[in-house]
Amino acid sequence: MIIQRLVDYLNRGADKHSDPETRHKILITNLFGFVGFALTLVMGINAFFKEIWLLGVSLFIASAVFFVSLEHQRFFRTPTSHQISGNLLQLNLSALMLYLVYSGGSNNTGPLWIVLVPPVMMFFSGLKGGLRNTLLFTLCYCLLVFYPDNALVQVHYSDEFKTRLLLTLLTLTVLSGYYEHSRFQAFLQIRELSAKFEQQAHIDPLTQIANRRAMMKQLKGEYSRATRHQESMCLLLLDVDHFKRINDIYGHHIGDEVLKSISQLFVNRLRKQDVISRWGGEEFLILLPQTTEQDAIEVAEAIRQQVEEFTLEQAGKKVAITVSIGVWAVDVEESIDEAIQQADKLLYLAKHQGRNRVIATEGKPSINTMEPQ
């Protein structure tokens, strides 16, 4: 229970709509803020017990800033809130580290904490920003400790200590930079693969048009938009006539070519905002947003005629193709499934009345066409 509460606390500011990289950054930002707050608070209390008043006050101030950066994402949930918190953490850490270099901290061990700077800067600001911020911090460190006669610090550091600490800082900067570069490249590759798999999950591999899953997603989005704005939309459900006979006579490879060819015909005929999908087997579903029933009938009839006039030639064989189409004007009062069922009923009527025809909502063919013999 306690662990779960802590996890929930550290995930504040992240929501289900955030991408994985953003959620990860929010988690680490909160974790660093929480650890920084707790650690500097304990160290501040310890400094007060040792009567190192200035160090204690500085640690308490740093602890308060860490806490503010932690709570910022709770009260200001904006797309950039985690970036603001990250910048605040970097500034706070840099100021605290430079103060520890200046004062020496407890028993002159304060400067050892600066090894935290490179990895923290790289994480919050990326490779370029992290290198820039770390370089600025390193210049400030060099100014403090290498100024003649230690005039800018309260304690005396030996030349060996100052030089070795600088080399350690530079080494960690190189290692952290290499790690951040590798991490970011791996992230880009994973994102590219994820986008590729996402596309494959929504594209029919044979026809290279949207599959049933992708169409359902488009339908839900367009249905919501049409409902909000009270706009018309229509569905065309198409089926290749006698497709089984085509497969039996010419072979399945010819059947596949038929599906690919007419898919391209549909794509070339439709508008950019229209969506076409392979609904299943030899069935295709077309979504026509902002389209009246009469306009949808005209589109369907144009598609039917174009397919009828098209002849597929493969290996010296000519294959005549026709399609039957059901046209349904979607009513925003009905569900998506109900609209598809209505389009399916009209498609059935088109086939029942002789195929190679368009049947609209009222159940009448748009043109008295007969299936070619």
Where in the chain are the domains?
2-200, 212-359
- Superfamily of domain 212-359 in CATH is Reverse transcriptase/Diguanylate cyclase domain (3.30.70.270)
The model's pLDDT over 255-270, given as tens digits with 9 standing for 90+, comes to 999 999 999 999 999 9
* Range scoring the smallest mean pLDDT among 118-132, 189-203, 253-267: 189-203
pLDDT band at 227 (very low <50, low <70, confident <90, very high): confident
DSSP assignment of 190-215: HHHHHHHHHHHHHB-TTT-SB-HHHH
pLDDT at 235: 96
How far is the CA of 336 from the CAs of 40, 221, 239, 270, in angstroms? 58, 11, 20, 21
pLDDT at 282: 95
The model's pLDDT over 89-108, given as tens digits with 9 standing for 90+, comes to 999 999 999 999 999 988 88
Spatial separation of the C-alpha atoms in residues 341 and 333, rounded to whole Å: 14
Q: What percent of the chain has pLDDT over 90?
A: 65
pTM as predicted: 0.62
